[in-house]
Amino acid sequence: MDPISIFISSYMDIVSNNVTAQMTDIQGIELQAVAVEHNNVVIPYSYQLWRIKPESVCNNLKLKTIAYSKCTIEAKSLFNETCAYLQSNPEQHWKYRKLKNMYCNAAISFEPKIASIEWSDKPSPLQASRSKCNLSILEFMEKSSQANLHSRNESCNAYKALKGK
């Protein structure tokens, strides 16, 4: 192959690849994976056709409930803040419109998964009564005395009365 043919062939490959890449970018056909740090939390998500895939948001943390919850809450914040920023700073580039629509749609439609685990300060009267009933049943099973029978009946009747309210 002569040098001119190689040059023309290389040039055609470059031009066709650039055109294809630009068309793919404009249409958003390819699945894109992104990880953005927001408020010291890395938020991974994917988008395709200029829409964020909700099931992909923080997907790597699904087995860690508290971390997953925090990540999805921060993701909602990221989508809201990005939408607000893009709305207040308009640009003329085609990509601006696509990004603004993508983040604003996510800000509206994405629902974070909220989970928290907290210690209860004081059990409710119903919970306390149930615990007392269970304990007296256990004591009666361990030692079947008249006193334990009376204690079991008394505490369990009190629990049933509270439960029936």
User: Per-residue pLDDT tens for 2-56?
Assistant: 566 565 555 455 544 554 445 555 666 789 999 999 999 999 999 999 999 999 9
- Domain span at residue 160 reads 125-164
Q: What is the pLDDT of residues 92-119, one digit of tens each?
A: 998 999 999 999 999 999 999 998 777 7
Beta strands in 23-119 (DSSP E): 32-38, 41-48, 51-52
Residues 93 and 30 placed together within one structural domain of the fold? yes
pTM: 0.59
Position 147 in a domain: yes
Which residues, 6 or more positions from 159, have their beta carbon under 8 angstroms from its beta carbon? Answer: 126, 129, 130, 132, 133
- Domain count for the chain, please give it: 2
Question: Is residue 97 situated within a structural domain?
Answer: yes
On whether residue 8 sits in a domain, the answer given is no
Q: Per the domain annotation, does 35 fall within a domain? A: yes
